[in-house]
Structure 1
Amino acid sequence: MRLTTVLLSLACVLGVATAMPFLPPPANATVVECGDDTDLLKIDYVNLDPNPPQKGQVLNIDAKAFLKENVVEGAKIFLTVKVGVIKLLTKELDFCEESVKVDKPCPLLAGEQTLKHSVELPKEIPPGKYLVNVKVKNPDEKQVTCLVATAVFTL
């Protein structure tokens, strides 16, 4: 699976349709850590612009974090995408193959990390509550990070 597909999956989860006038305004998308203090990456912030994201528009992602140890060759990304209780996608990806696609080197060296990336959201996002779970682990099984992103698509 290409990083564009992963980013699209993440971006889709973050995308929330423009509400119709008789519906409440869409809730902001959320990205939260689901790991613990032993995770190698501690996130300072993740900003989404616009938030809530809009179908058919560009979603800008700006994030900052601190990495305690290097993320090395052989690290894996575990991705799960659900709509409600239905699992749409489960994938295992090679971290190094994916990181270079967002201009991040491999190994990713310890220290302050920033990410600025833009993704065009498709216009055809089906309605529903979306949840994306992303875990990254080094080959020694140390968890780099665990993230959960949620968003609700309306008609």
Structure 2
Amino acid sequence: MQSRFIALTLASLTLASQALAWGCIGQDCNDAANQIAFSVPQPEQAHKSAWDPTPGGGWQWSSCGTGDEVVSVDSIVVSPDPPVPGQNLTVRAKGTIKDEVSDGTFADVVVKLGLIRLLARRFDVCEEARANNADLQCPLSAGDYELEQTVALPREIPPGKFNVHVTGENQDGSNLVCLDLSIQFGFRR
């Protein structure tokens, strides 16, 4: 489940970055991303700007739950930090599943750039894992899990701080997870 959750989170970040990069805010961007181009102006000089995150400070996460969620995340580490548009991002995560996770489990993902909502979508966790050939598949039993996943970030991600709020519900109606993630992108050099 942990790898599926992280893959889902990464997928939501990728979808959000594509949504902003391709300019299709507030709609399903799967098809639009292939049709509309949007570019970000490059800085005039190669000096540090207010949009550039501090090394090691481009990614933050926190649990927003009460502690009774089915998935408990112990750590999430990304490399490189800060993430760089157009390059691979590797995510290493550790966590614990307290109860079985099977079909009927979903996650709600909301992605914002500042106060602007870019994406609000409900994902079927098990279906997403099957569709993306994840290493772990439903049903998952209780236990400790570790994940390392690498994704290619779109080059068109504009500078800014993206905030991701993830909640969900297990197939039995219990709270799945509650996470707040923040990722900051600077100008490409």
Aligned pair partner of 2:63 in 3, 8, 33: 33
The correspondence of residues 44-63 of structure 1 with structure 2, limited to 5 A, is 44-63=74-93
Corresponding residue for residue 108 of structure 1: 140
Higher strand share: 1
- What's the TM-score once normalised by structure 2's chain length? 0.70
Q: Structure 1 residues 5, 124: CA separation in 2 closer, same or farther (over 3 Å shift)?
A: farther
CA drift of 1:136 comes to: 2.3
Distance 1:133 1:49 in 2: 21
Number of the residue aligned with 1:139: 171
> What pairs up with 1:46-85 in 2 under 5 angstroms?
46-85=76-115
Distance 2:68 2:8 in 1: 29
Alpha-carbon displacement from aligned partner over 1:86-140 (angstroms, at most 9, x marks no partner)? 1111111111111232222101211011111101111111222211111121132
Task: Please tell me whether the aligned partners of residues 56 and 121 of structure 1 are also in contact (alpha carbons under 8 angstroms).
Answer: yes
In the alignment, the residues of structure 2 paired with residue 6 and residue 92 of structure 1 have an alpha-carbon distance, to the nearest angstrom, of 12
1:133-153 residue CA offsets vs partner (Å, 9 max, x unmatched) = 111211322112111111223
Percentage identity across paired residues of the two chains: 34
- Alignment match of 1:122 (pick from 141, 154, 173): 154
Structure 2 gap ranges (5+): 1-5, 18-42
Q: Deviations over 1:27-59 (max 9, x none)?
A: 321122111111112222111111111111100
Q: How many aligned residue pairs are there?
A: 149
